Amino acid sequence: MTDKPAAVCAACNANLYEGRSAIYDSLFEVYACGPSCWSEWYADNEAEYKRKWTEAVDL
């Protein structure tokens, strides 16, 4: 019997298995091995992240 990965790291594509800890980004719904992988993923997606969260407004 092989363990089925519960998720895949968005930064390094490592399989993340049930019962292990990982970082989950609830906005983009991606998983990462840990803070360093998440930072790597965020560095590549910062522009889109900001686009999703920030906008120009009239005051």
Of 17-25, 28-36, 41-49, 51-59, which part binds Zn ion (CB under 5 A)?
28-36
3 exposed, middle or buried (CB, 10 Å; 0-12, 13-18, 19+)?
A: exposed
Of 22 and 49, CB closest to Zn ion: 22
Residues 6 or more apart in contact with residue 53 via CB below 8 angstroms:
27
Q: Is 37 in the site for Zn ion (CB under 5 A)?
A: yes
Q: How far is the CB of 49 from Zn ion (least distance, A)?
A: 18
Binding site for Zn ion (CB under 5 A): 9, 11-12, 14, 33, 37
